[in-house]
Structure 1
């Protein structure tokens, strides 16, 4: 019988919440947002058919089912960690070259790297931000992390998360130009900044999608086209216009109020991220340790 490996990621988050006593403290421990932790627990409850936490009390408490589940999975999770990880951190040494794109690298990977280096102090990391995945083959890269549909050029690949595509603008822009109520309103005089599709040389089409299946692709005129996430953010917070951003890129700016999500009911499209290695990568302790670290820190694998 095949086991759904996504449950392991959910169990990891569940144990962190149970030990920390709150979603917020667990989020800091596992490297997710508070909402990401809540979604991971909800998915685990759906898949197991159990209600793990009592959300009616003022404090977050385990249900009786949750308490028994925790007692059963904790030793199994510890044993799995011992089997999957190298026996000693000092066995993992050398230099690991990681290629990543402009969204995953600066906004997720680099902030997480200190924890990985703390766990494996003998390992040195090179992070290379590249637009294309062929660097894995021509630049001696060990691991690649990329958003987008999977590449199939003889590489092993693993889905590690899905990020929601958000439509955003700054409060200053919206105060001046108004807030669109539907995707077609964007076509009526709004300023847009679009991301360049490196494969076609043209800006990406904006594909809007609702939870009930309605879809609306648009290709708005844009006064500015860029080829990286940082430039999209800079244009948006500078009141230039409307942009589309992955939620891992936009989250901090939304929390601080520098950006506002617009058309939330149309922002249900999920964009996948994959981890790529060469077929013989399993022989490297460094690559195995890095892969385990990344998968432990990402629980969105639906």
Structure 2
């Protein structure tokens, strides 16, 4: 008995409730389909269909077997499609979303290499710090930083994101170096209004990791990490930013990191995309490219920092 042919014949008869219609859809003969089903029943030692002159219905055993056989055939079809798509060249328009700062500083310089590698792909990139619904807005892939809560998305972790609290040497000379997070209450702190609904900065106790929230104040806030970086470079206060924004400044000594043991390092850089049974070649290629360029626990911007 050809087990695969018998499963396909059985499943098609169960779907159509007709040997004749199943044979037509399988481009086979009614007698061949009947032989496959009969051989399957004989091998299982169970009747799968109730047959009368007017109707054809599944038995209890047939219903259970149909549910399992359908999953097997679907998995086999998906495996075939997956291999076929791996062989296909990435092509078509790819819609990408990324945060503003990371997009300007790191994603934009990398995209030329991606386009050179895949000449049949066209990119449509949007940069935004607001939450983007990938399905509603037709986005194929998004680069996201932080914890992920949308279970309808597939996420691939790319890299760790390290945060620092830093200020210019001039500011530290004038105002002093904080020894604990509570000391920040006496300092100017520059907050990102995209992230901080209140002016509470969150730290941890270095001994046991328990939360240590601090209410901070400052004379300037902005919805851009890049703008806050410039303000800190000019001596206007402390910023709490990822190293992918301030890594070069830390290396050059134009910004100084403080209170490092008190900062929780729990953020990650992720590539996310909507769930799908078959991942398109262009999405697979782009996610693999991001992992190649940015992946690892110590990405290149931390090496400079």
Query: One fold, TM greater than 0.5?
Result: yes
8 Å contact from structure 1 (residues 102, 129) kept in 2: yes
* Structure 2 segments unaligned to the other structure (5+ residues): 1-82, 299-305
Aligned-residue offset at 1:252: 1.2
8 Å contact from structure 1 (residues 85, 289) kept in 2: no
Aligned to 2:228: 232
Aligned-residue offset at 1:210: 5.3
Aligned to 2:97: 99
8 Å contact from structure 2 (residues 90, 120) kept in 1: yes
8 Å contact from structure 1 (residues 99, 135) kept in 2: no
Q: With structure 2 as the length reference, what TM-score do the two structures score?
A: 0.63
Aligned-residue offset at 1:208: 1.6
Query: What is the correspondence of 1:165-176 to structure 2 with a 5 Å cutoff?
Result: 165-176=163-174
8 Å contact from structure 1 (residues 165, 270) kept in 2: no
Q: Distance in 1 between matches of 2:277 and 2:137?
A: 15
Q: With structure 1 as the length reference, what TM-score do the two structures score?
A: 0.63
Number of equivalences: 214
SS in structure 1 opposite 2:251? helix
* Structure 1 segments unaligned to the other structure (5+ residues): 1-82
1:175-211 Cα deviation digits (max 9, x unpaired): 22222122111112x111111246xx72463122355
SS in structure 2 opposite 1:115? helix
Aligned to 1:185: 183
Aligned to 1:280: 276
Aligned to 1:25: none
Query: What is the correspondence of 1:24-173 to structure 2 with a 5 Å cutoff?
Result: 86-87=86-87, 91-152=89-150, 154-173=152-171
Aligned-residue offset at 1:116: 1.9
* 2:262 maps to 1:266: yes
1:221–1:292 CA distance, 2 compared to 1 (3 A):
same
- Large movers: runs of 4+ above 6 Å: none
- The CA RMSD measured in Å over matched residues stands at 2.6
Q: Distance in 2 between matches of 1:212 and 1:161?
A: 26
